[in-house]
Structure 1
Amino acid sequence: MTAMKLESYAAGQWIGPGPDARAIASAVTGEEVAIAGSALDFQAMLDHARFTGGPNLRAMTFHDRARMLKALAIHLGERKDRLYELSLHAGCTKADSWIDIDGGIGTLFVFASKGRRELPDAHVYVDGGIEQLSRNGTFLGQHILTPLQGAAVHINAFNFPVWGMLEKLAPTLLAGVPAIVKPATATSYVAEACFRMMVESGILPEGAVQFIAGGTGDLLDRLTPQDVVSFTGSAATALMLRSSPHILQNSIRFIAEQDSLNASILGPDAGPGTPEFDLFVKEVVREMTVKAGQKCTAIRRIIVPRAVEGDVIEALKAKLSRTVVGDPSAEGVRMGPLASLAQRRDVLEKVAVIGQEAECVHGDPDAFSVEGADAKKGAFVPPMLFRCPDPVGAASIHSTEAFGPVSTVMAYDALDEAVALANRGGGSLVMSLITHDPDVARDVARGAGAWHGRIYINDRDSMGESTGHGSPLPHLTHGGPGRAGGGEEMGGVRGVFHYMQRTSVQGSPNMLGAVAGTFVPGSKTFETDRHPFTKPFEELQLGETLHTKPRTVTLEDIEHFAHFTGDTFYAHMDEDAAAANPFFPGRVAHGYLLLSFAAGLFVEPSPGPVLANVGLDGLKFMKPVSPGDSIAVALTVKRKTRRTDTYGEVRWHVVLTNQDGETVAEYELHTMNAYAGAS
């Protein structure tokens, strides 16, 4: 095939390979498939991101950006076949590519959905509740999050050219920060094809994304405290980059996801013949062979009870021996080659180190069969299983990661020893535990939690729906302490906040409401000109308030409610017992009776824009209501959020007061309201 000439995308222009471009070889055949390396003006790229991309993204609300991500996911999903074709050159089977390509697209969908559900249709995210800083509530504090005004530099690994790019782009763009993407050169032809689809879609605003096919030059030396570096790769490279004097002096955010000697523990209860034993063997084999073991989450250390060590080894060998290695396009092949010849050399070097402390019990890199390809030309290795006779006294197996289909079995005598062995990895992205004993799960989680970013526990109850040891999910944090880099990626909206600045804002309720785009209790309100339930979504204004007439609560009301609902709690029915309670002066109204009366006071019963009451938050009963007291309601528009083309969500601040003006209850009501002409 003719080698692809990969292009960088800088300041809105595609730029082809320069004179120093390097060749990229197929992992299967060793033939040249692409060339990459452009001469770029990195300052111009940063300026384009900061002064064009950033303002364009920040002009959009969180929901605008979420809809953008969804449109992008749909666009890529319609064109993914091309990415599957290119991934064959990287040694990926169809199953491998599904994790990378469909997994990446799925991550866009998840962030789009969470952005719409969990973030406001606004430009500012309110973080936490109001802090009252003065006696009368005229001076308050509030934390907010706003997008950084720089660029995110994404330095990605070779093993997942699509997912690795999209899982970083999703939270970055949702936060409102432009990105400069630098993929690993070995598989950059897949990343470039995916990136080109994004640009050609026209979905992203100008300057939102840029792409480097080649080296980063002096890019990192030009960053400011408003920029972020998100790195995935080796610990050595991460250390070199994050130790840069410029990075340190300017406190530039550096998110790292790096080496990880992940472990999997077989619980002492999960012996041969149990569903957990079979599950454990299946998980280990899958993690060794999917992507030829080139996963940052793959199982590197297999920790098993000493009594079943031999059984585990034999079961693993039996399954591994049926793993067909070869050209991923050939029928029946279960594991392709490593991503490059350089990666093969690195894996074999690490295997030699591991072999000093462990014996190889399966897989000889000098004698194995390859289906449909020439083993000498491609980057092929077999699955290699080791056994360490003394894992407590060993060192290399806890510090050396062979980034391929390589894993080591080690035995333990007591559960605390198993935990200690797992922790010897110095910090991992994920540790798994296969057990059906809740006590084992509790003890392992308590003992290992501090050293692992994720703990995956599986058994017969969850195995049918579990996603697997090695599957990071966009809903949860992907990262880990120590050797794993200490960073966090994804994690739902938590991942978005890595690209935003948390700021505490102080001022009056009016000022905080204006900053946050929401009604803050204590700020100015105005009486509605007609019942707010008769107004379509777009006509409602923040601070618009309905004050109802009062209603007297009688003893008959309380007794009727008690018998009608069955709630005959003594505080409502027994005067002496209620009076003996330190919270009540005597018999009092049910809290839920007050909520029902409140609804009766403020609801407009006629059909109109209000489509449904979908819930309430923050309900507080603050003062008891006795028979003969009266209650009135103040209903105030607190926040509005568009949801679909026909309706939006309205959040109402609801306050119930008694005849003395004292607050007796407070909560936030959620309704869905139609737009004009849609009700």
Structure 2
Amino acid sequence: MARNSDSKAASVEQSASAARFERDGSGLYIGGRWRARPDAEMMPLVDPSTEQVYAHAVVPTIADADEAVLSARRAFDSRVWRDVPVGERAVIISRAYEIVLQSLDEIAEIAAFEIGAPVQITRMMTGVVGNVIAGMSEIAVSEGDVEHGNGLWEFEIQRDPAGVVVDVVPWNSPFSGTMMKSAQALLAGCSVISKPPPTAPFAVLAWARALEAAGLPDGVFGVLAAGAEVSERLVTHPGVDLVVFTGGTAVGRRVAELCGRNLKRVILELGGKSAAVVLQDADMQLAVDSVASGVYFNSGQICSALTRLVVPRTRIDEICELLRQKAEGVVIGNPLDESTTMGPMATEDHYRRVLDRVRAGENEGAKRVYGGIRPDSPDLGWYVTPALFIADNEMNIAREEVFGPVATVIGYDSEEEAIAIANDSTYGLGGSVFSADHERAHRVASKLDTGSVTINGYTTNLLAPRNPHKSSGIGSVTGVAGYRSFSSTRLINLQAGAKAWRPTELFADNTN
């Protein structure tokens, strides 16, 4: 099964590195100031790879939430950022990213402590986000503030920033998620309050430091690593115009409910149980490589991973053996070790949840081919080995999002059945189709009820619009559509065309 890295040297480095968190133990950045309250309640933060406390962070209060919104509102209403030309906004955000790169090794170590992400994964994801920021900057500049058009009327559409944005980022990727989404909102001219999980505030604070050093005005960006009660205050606060939530579907429904009470705009990127439809003529190794790149990435804590393999029933044994070989190449160990490719689960609760779902899968009759257990080493940490099941699509292991390194193979006998299985899910985030016949793959892809499909590969195209289907969310935060989500529009009718309906003509004086 999966190999384990030698983490003795990394453990020594881990102990030495932990002291850096004490230089800023607050976890709060409000109004351009680093907040530390001597009398504040402090929460211990636990390293997922050692199960040891490595730092403490302030527990934000309702008063902190109110102050964060007030600061963001003042900054927005003062127009100190929204009136900066979009090209200059792009320069400042790009400068912040360059500052991040200067301290990337340190940020990668922080992420290792916070969520157990191997340092090489954080470096890679930061590079991906840099490409997104560059691409979104080009989109923002080309979009401009005014769009002209003709129809029955000559018109223009004026674009304004959406206002104060609360960006609730998930615990599996708080740093890269914050950078990517907040950069788009800032490019649009919004003020942003980032709400990372209370268990992982420090990497996001590194982005705040970079924005501050790059010249972002005070109050335009804030960080509040709040728990559930304070987060609800942020979401429902009348000073907030738009909520962007990335996370689980159950909490997403709660966020949508709270926003709906006041008709507050909301964007939701939620869970997934994406299918890889492997047709009979597919390159099986390519399919397996694509599945493994998502299911084993970040310990399987990734919403778009291809966790359901819909394969010809006659080729189940073949694909299971290829997946076993990929699993054996995974290196489990200390996230600070450069050779580690899979770290622990991000939290103890989630670690136990993944193991529980593996046990439940066996209990309901699914066949566990391998994995899904705690490895013999490292001795401590919330580690789970890569797992594979063979199941029917009606089983919970094939329907519920495990959010761990767990994949399920589901057999089929015909192309129509494969499509039906792929679509028989409450989720609709991503998916892939594998076939040597591109036209056939394209035909099958067009029948999948999901927001994104890749042909002969696995990818998340973060510069193209993607709207999740079903319980996977609402709205887009990618591509032109994603950028426009952070704006509001105003239609100006300029001059009526010949075919325009003019209600004033009904009341014209025609007596002459």
- TM category (shorter chain) comes to 0.7 to 0.9
1:410 maps to 410
SS across alignment from 1:447: coil
Distance 1:167 1:125 in 2: 24
Native 8 Å contact 1:398 1:424 kept in 2: no
Task: Write the mapping of 1:345-424 to structure 2, written as runs, cut at 5 A.
Answer: 345-355=352-362, 356-366=364-374, 368-370=375-377, 373-374=378-379, 377-388=380-391, 390-391=392-393, 394-424=394-424
State the alpha-carbon separation in 1 of the partners of residues 85 and 338 from structure 2: 48
* Correspondence for 1:12: 32
2:453 aligned partner: 455
Residue in structure 1 matched with residue 510 of structure 2 by the alignment: none
**Deviations along 1:532-589, whole A, 9 cap, x unmatched?**
xxxxxxxxxxxxxxxxxxxxxxxxxxxxxxxxxxxxxxxxxxxxxxxxxxxxxxxxxx
**Partner SS for 2:428:** coil
CA distance in 1, matches of 2:111, 2:236: 33
Q: CA deviation at 1:72?
A: 1.9
2: CA distance between counterparts of 1:107 and 1:188?
23
Aligned to 2:340: 333
- The runs of 4+ residues in structure 1 deviating greater than 6 Å are none
User: Given that residues 430 and 450 in structure 2 are in contact (C-alpha distance below 8 angstroms), is that contact kept between their aligned partners in structure 1?
Assistant: yes
Per the alignment, residue 208 of structure 1 pairs with: 220
What code does the residue aligned with 1:237 have? V
Alpha carbons of structure 1 residues 283 and 369: separation in structure 2 relative to 1, 3 Å: farther
Partner of 1:652: none
For the residues of structure 2 that align with 1:300 and 1:202, how far apart are their CA atoms?
A: 40
Letter in 2 for 1:473: N
1:677 matched to which residue of 2? none
| 2:12 equivalent in structure 1 | none
Task: From 446, 458, 477, give the equivalent of 1:489.
Answer: 477
What does residue range 239-638 of structure 1 map to in structure 2 within 5 Å?
239-244=253-258, 247-270=259-282, 276-330=283-337, 332-355=339-362, 356-366=364-374, 368-370=375-377, 373-374=378-379, 377-388=380-391, 390-391=392-393, 394-448=394-448, 451-458=449-456, 469=458, 471-491=459-479, 493-508=480-495
Deviation, 1:62, is 2.1
Measure, in 2, the Cα distance between the counterparts of 1:144 and 1:214: 35
Name the structure 1 match of 2:159.
Answer: 145
Residue 229 (str. 1) matches residue 243 (str. 2): yes
* Match of residue 46, structure 2, among 7, 11, 25: 25
Q: 2:72 aligns with which of 27, 33, 49?
A: 49
Aligned to 1:523: none
Greater shift, 333-342 or 23-32, is seen at 333-342
Where 2:218 maps in the other structure, the secondary structure is coil
Q: Is contact 1:428-1:484 (8 Å) kept? A: yes
Q: Which residue does 2:140 correspond to in 1?
A: 115
Cα deviation for residue 508 of structure 1 reads 4.3
CA contact (8 A) 1:16 1:38 kept: no
When Rg is computed on C-alpha atoms for both structures, the one with the higher figure is 1
Deviation at 1:99, TM superposition (A): 3.4
Structural mapping, 1:633-652, within 5 Å: none
Q: 1 or 2 for the larger relative contact order (CA 8 Å, sep ≥6)?
A: 2
Can you give the 5+ residue segments of structure 1 that lack an aligned partner in the other structure?
A: 134-139, 271-275, 459-467, 510-679
Q: CA deviation at 1:86?
A: 1.5
**3-state DSSP class of the match of 2:350?**
helix
- Does the 8 Å contact 2:385/2:405 carry over to 1? yes
- Residue 132 of structure 1 and its aligned partner are, at CA, apart by 4.2
TM-score normalised to the size of structure 2? 0.86
Rate the CA distance shift 1:195–1:100 in 2: closer, same or farther, 3 A.
Answer: farther
Question: Where in structure 2 are the equivalents of 1:132-171 lying within 5 Å?
Answer: 132-133=152-153, 140-148=154-162, 150-171=163-184
Q: 1:298 to 1:95 in 2, by over 3 A?
A: farther
Structure 2 unpaired stretches of 5+: 1-17, 497-512
Match of 1:97 in 2: 122
* 1:160-201 alpha-carbon deviations (Å, 9 max, x no partner): 1221001111211111111000012233222223322322x1
C-alpha distance 421-22 of structure 1, shift in aligned 2 (>3 A): same
Report percent identity of matched pairs. 25
- The farther-off stretch of 48-57 and 226-235 is 48-57
- Structure 1 distance, partners of 2:70, 2:272, is 35
CA distance in 2, matches of 1:354, 1:487: 32
Q: CA separation in 1, counterparts of 2:372 and 2:182? A: 40
Equivalent position SS for 1:397: helix
Name the counterpart of 1:628. Answer: none
Q: Alpha-carbon deviation of 1:93?
A: 2.0
Q: Provide the C-alpha distance between the structure 1 equivalents of 2:152 and 2:423, rounded to a whole number of angstroms.
A: 43
TM-score (norm. length: structure 1): 0.66
Conserved 8 A contact 2:166-2:244: yes
Structure 2 Cα separation of the partners of residues 63 and 159 of structure 1: 32
How far, CA to CA, are the matches of 1:113 and 1:202 in structure 2? 19
Deviation string, structure 1 residues 413-451 (Cα, Å, up to 9, x no partner) = 111211111112223221011212123223212211xx2
- After TM superposition, give the deviation of residue 15 of structure 1 in Å: 1.5
Letter in 2 for 1:480: P
State the Cα distance separating 1:74 from its structure 2 match.
1.8
Q: Distance in 2 between matches of 1:223 and 1:212?
A: 17
Deviations 1:228-254 (CA, angstroms, capped at 9, x unpaired):
00001111111112112xx22321111
Question: What is the SS of the residue equivalent to 2:440?
Answer: helix
Structure 1 contact 428–482 (Cα < 8 Å) conserved:
yes
Deviations 1:316-374 (A, max 9, x none): 112212322111233643211111212201212222333324111011415x333xx32
Letter in 2 for 1:220: V
Distance in 2 (alpha carbons) for counterparts of 1:440 and 1:186: 46
Q: Deviations over 1:375-398 (max 9, x none)?
A: xx311010011111x33xx14134
- Offset of residue 289 of structure 1: 1.4
